[in-house]
Structure 1
Amino acid sequence: MRILVVEDEQKAGDYLRKGLTESGFVVDWAQTGPDGLHMAQSESYDLIVLDVMLPKMNGWQIVQELRKNQETPVLFLTARDEVEDRVRGLELGADDYLVKPFAFAELVVRIRTLLRRGPIREAERLDVADMQIDVLKRRVTRSGHRIDLTAKEFALLHLLAKRKGEVLSRSLIASQVWDMNFDSDTNVVDVAVRRLRAKIDDPYASKLIHTIRGMGYVLEERQ
């Protein structure tokens, strides 16, 4: 299996190339964004390990370009550990996201899992009733009207829409959107849902977010 590593730090790049080679992979290494994109587009790789903060062209831009015409699995390996960064990376088309510092054994397991699974693309657009969610542009409209959401509100709506018709518990929502364990004494999920409803439901006759008492929330169209 042939892997492209795009990493600008010399020490990290040497470590990744040496470790992955010893794990049985053929490894190429690019140290700038443009070089990484050129190699990814001109050569055939089974997987790309991609940093975010790169010289001249960042990882976000690289994966956006790649997803225009290829499905090669991409694993972001970066020190950017905010939930918003992980959500953004996956929404732009990455298949996995691992934060530095990391255990090398975990990186190898994730790579092998992706190689077995093959590329899986999330939908670039989600439709629920008269609401459209443009995942790449992070834009939401309902009945043709633009709805401005914060990063957290968008992440919450995206999660609900991806799992349309499925009841999501507060614990699951808290872990996925805030990367936190849900505390029953904390109403952060309920407050966030209330704010989201005020934007996407309150102005419209048909409501899309529904409370399932004692269980959680579901996004679906109801007659």
Structure 2
Amino acid sequence: MRILLIEDDPLLGQGIQLNLQQRGYRVDWVEAGEPGVSAVLDLRPDLLILDLNLPDIDGLEVLRRIRREVELPVLILTARDSISHRVEGLDNGADDYLVKPFDLDELEARIRALQRRAAGRSQALLTYRDISIDTQARQVTLQGELVSLGRREYDLLMYLLESAGRVLTRRQIEAQLYEDDLESNALEVHVHNLRKKFGKNLVKTVRGVGYFVES
């Protein structure tokens, strides 16, 4: 997934770019609005992360220009935290809004949600090899046969498939799927159950790092 970041704060911009790259995303970063508009048109990214307080033109003007030319998910980052500012951003075509300061895990979660929405996965059939998932009914089939999954098994399967080809650390998975009552071996148990139900080669282990499924 290719992301364009328009952010004028060099420390924040570099931090976001490096962090998302470490998580498997391709991230281009520009520090002002005018080159940002040009970058959207030239690079055609899959998603735009847009700061509103830019040094040359206002981020909302950037958003309006982009919306006249292309359709892509837009996540606004800003210190403007009033309800009126949020409404203004959404009314001008933003898909989501994240107020500074924010946690990078939450930023990635918002990106994944926008990616799913853009792909129509919230209302579509998700397929991976011989696995099919009805995301509305939360029903999973393997070669046409219904597979019974617990809630957390289903959530883990979805998270792995949506991140196919990218290694997810234990910390990332636990932060995404589990509450504070997580038992020490719960993740291993759920991975074991997925392998038992879908084949031992579905979920790969990177020892000392985490898990992934092949893309």
User: Per the shorter chain, which TM-score range?
Assistant: 0.5 to 0.7
Where does 1:54-203 land on structure 2 (aligned, <5 Å)? 54-118=54-118
Give, in angstroms, the shift of residue 69 of structure 1. 2.2
Q: Which residue of 2 aligns with 1:26?
A: 26
- Counterpart contact for 1:76–1:96, Cα < 8 Å: yes
Q: 1:119 to 1:29 in 2, by over 3 A?
A: same
2:15 counterpart residue number? 15
Shift of 1:91: 0.3
Greater percentage in helix: 2
Q: Deviations over 1:76-122 (max 9, x none)?
A: 011110111100000000000000000110100000110111189xx
Cα distance in 2 for partners of 1:44, 1:9 equals 23
Instruction: Give 2:157's aligned residue.
Output: none
Alignment correspondent of 2:49: 49
Shift of 1:70: 1.2
Identical positions, percent? 44
Q: Structure 2 counterpart of 1:58, which letter?
A: D
In the superposition, the TM-score normalised over structure 1's length comes to 0.52
Cα gap change, 1:34 to 1:15, in 2 (>3 Å) = same
Instruction: Please give the secondary structure, in 1, of the residue aligned with 2:27.
Output: strand
Q: How many residue pairs align between the two structures? A: 120
CA RMSD, 1 decimal: 1.3
Shift of 1:55: 1.2
Q: Secondary structure at the match of 2:69?
A: coil
SS at match of 2:34: helix
Match of 1:39 in 2: 39
1:15 maps to amino acid? G
Unaligned runs of 5+ residues in structure 1 are 121-223
Quick one: distance in 2 between partners of 1:35 and 1:92? 20
Write out the 4+ residue segments of structure 1 that deviate beyond 4 Å after TM superposition: none
Matched-pair contact (CA < 8 Å) for 1:49–1:77: yes
